[in-house]
Structure 1
Amino acid sequence: MEQIDTHTTHLSVRPKPHIGILTFHFSDNYGALMQAYGLREWLLRSGVSAEFINYHPTHVEQGGAFVLGADLRTFKANAKIAFLKLSAFRRFLFGNKRQSLLFEEFRRNMLGVKGIPLRTQIDVERFLSSAEGRFDLIICGSDQIWSPSAQRGLDPTYFAYFPSLTKATRRISYAASFGRDLAGDPAEPQFLKYLGALDAISVREKSGEDFVAKILGCKPNRAPDPTILLADFSPLYANIPVSVESYVFCYALRTGNKIRSAATIVSNELDCSIKSPFNAHRRWREIGSTVYSSPSEWLAAMRDAKFVVTNSFHGAVFSVLLRKPFIVVRLPGTKSPSNDRAINLLHELGLESRLVSGDDPAAIKKLINEPVDWEGCAGKLLELKRVGEDYLRHQICATVK
Structure 2
Amino acid sequence: MQVGILTMHRVLNYGSFMQGYALKSVIESFGHDVRFMDFQNGQPRHRGQKVEMPTLANKLSKIPGALSDIAGTVRKRLFRHKFNTYFRDTCWNMLGVPEQPNYSLRADAVVIGSDEVFNYTQNHSFGYVPALFGHGIEAPLILSYAPSAGYANWTDAQADGIADELRSGLQRLSHISVRDENTRRLVELCTGNNPTLVVDPTLIYDFDHLLPAEPVVQGRYMVVYAYEGRMDSPQEIETITAFARKHGLKLVTAGSYHGWCDENLVVSPFELLRLFKDAEYVVTDTFHGSIFAMKHGRQFATFLRGDNPLGSNANKVSFLLHQLGMQSRIVSDLSKLGPVLETPAPYDDYRARWEPLRDSSLAYLRNALT
1:300 corresponds in structure 2 to 274
Which amino acid in the other structure matches residue 11 of structure 2?
S
Decide which of 104, 115, 118 is 1:146's aligned counterpart: 118
Q: Following TM superposition, by how much is the alpha carbon of 1:23 offset from its aligned partner in structure 2, in angstroms? A: 0.5
The alignment status of 1:318 with 2:289, answered yes or no, reads no
AA aligned opposite 1:375: D
* Separation of aligned partners in 2, 1:91 and 1:156: 39
User: 1:299, CA displacement in angstroms?
Assistant: 1.5
Partner of 2:223: 249
Q: Does the 8 A contact of 1:330 with 1:356 survive in 2? A: yes
**Partners of 2:236 and 2:168 in 1: CA distance:** 39
Candidates 286, 291, 302, aligned match of 1:328 = 302
Secondary structure at the counterpart of residue 184 of structure 1: helix
Aligned match of 1:160: 134
Aligned pairs (5 A) from 1:167-186: 168-180=139-151, 182-185=153-156, 186=160
Deviation, structure 1 residue 331: 1.9
Separation in structure 1 between the aligned mates of residue 75 and residue 273 of structure 2, nearest angstrom: 23
Equivalent position of 1:272 in the other structure: 249
Question: Partners of 2:4 and 2:11 in 1: how far apart?
Answer: 18
Amino acid of the residue matched to residue 24 of structure 1? Answer: M
* Paired residues, number: 343
Distance in structure 2 (CA, Å) of the matches to 1:93 and 1:260: 21
Partner of 1:53: 37
Partner of 1:29: 13
Which of these residues, 172, 192, 196, is aligned with residue 197 of structure 1? 172
- Partners of 2:47 and 2:75 in 1: CA distance: 27
- Aligned AA (1:228): L
Name the amino acid aligned to 1:175: A
Counterparts of 2:292 and 2:207, CA distance in 1: 10
CA distance in 1, matches of 2:54, 2:163: 23
> 1:395: which partner in 2?
368
| Cα RMSD, aligned residues only | 3.1
Q: 1:196 to 1:99 in 2, by over 3 A?
A: same
Shift of 1:80: 4.5
2:110 aligns to what SS in structure 1?
A: strand
| Cα contact 1:26–1:107 (8 A) shared by 2 | no
* C-alpha distance after superposition, 1:107-150 (max 9, x if no partner): 344212236214xxxxx2xx24xxxxx52110000000111212
- Please give the TM-score of this superposition, normalised by the length of structure 1: 0.76
Q: 305-314 vs 247-256, which deviates more? A: 247-256
Structure 1 residue 175: deviation in Å?
Answer: 0.3
SS of 1:368's equivalent?
A: helix
Kindly tell me: are residues 355 and 195 of structure 1, through their superposed partners in 2, closer, same or farther at Cα, counting changes over 3 Å?
A: same
Q: Distance in 1 between matches of 2:255 and 2:168?
A: 39
State the Cα distance separating 1:375 from its structure 2 match.
2.3
CA contact (8 A) 2:253 2:265 kept: yes
Correspondence 1:1-400 to 2 at 5 A: 17-55=1-39, 57=40, 80=53, 94-114=78-98, 116-118=100-102, 124=103, 127-128=104-105, 134-147=106-119, 148-151=121-124, 153-162=127-136, 165=138, 168-180=139-151, 182-185=153-156, 186=160, 187-230=162-205, 232-241=206-215, 243-253=217-227, 255-256=230-231, 257=233, 259-279=236-256, 285-334=259-308, 337-360=312-335, 363-397=336-370
Deviation at 1:272, TM superposition (A): 1.1
SS in 1 for 2:199: coil
Aligned in 2, Cα 1:236/1:91: closer, same or farther, shift over 3 Å?
farther
Partner SS, residue 110 of structure 1? helix
- Are the aligned partners of 2:299 and 2:342 in contact in 1 as well (CA < 8 Å)? no
Go from structure 1 to structure 2 and tell me whether the alpha carbon gap of 1:344 and 1:375 turns closer, same or farther (over 3 Å shift): same
Listed one character per residue, the Cα deviations across residues 52-82 of structure 1 (whole Å, up to 9, x for unaligned) are: 1144x467xxxx9xx8xxxx959x79x8499
CA distance in 1, matches of 2:135, 2:78: 37
Contact map agreement 2:133 2:166 (CA 8 A) in 1: no
Equivalent position SS for 2:245: helix
Does the C-alpha gap of structure 1 residues 215 and 201 become closer, same or farther in structure 2, counting only changes over 3 Å? same
Do the aligned partners of 2:306 and 2:313 also contact (CA within 8 Å) in 1? no
Instruction: State the Cα distance separating 1:224 from its structure 2 match.
Output: 0.4
TM-score (norm 2): 0.82
Give the Å deviation of 1:259: 4.5
- Stretches of structure 2 that go unaligned for 5 or more consecutive residues are 60-73
- The answer as to whether partners of 1:159 and 1:173 remain within 8 angstroms in 2 is no
Following superposition, the deviation at residue 374 of structure 1 comes to 1.7
Q: 1:382 and 1:160, CA in 2 relative to 1: closer, same or farther beyond 3 A? A: same
Displacement, 1:366? 1.7
Tell me the alpha carbon deviations over residues 315-345 of structure 1, each in whole angstroms, 9 at most, x when there is no partner.
0001000111100012255257322111111
Shift of the alpha carbon at 1:223?
A: 0.8
Return closer, same or farther for 1:25/1:344 CA change in 2, 3 Å cut-off. Answer: same
CA–CA separation in structure 1 for the residues paired with 2:176 and 2:77? 41
Deviation per residue, 1:370-395 (Å, 9 max, x gap): 11222221121111111211111111
Q: Which amino acid in structure 1 is aligned with residue 274 of structure 2?
A: A
Unpaired segments of 5 or more residues in structure 1? Answer: 1-16, 119-123, 129-133
Q: Write the distance in 1 (CA, Å) between the matches of 2:76 and 2:312.
A: 30
Paired residues of 1:331 and 1:338 also in contact (CA < 8 A): yes
Query: Residue 4 of structure 1 aligns with which residue?
Result: none
Identity, % of aligned pairs?
26
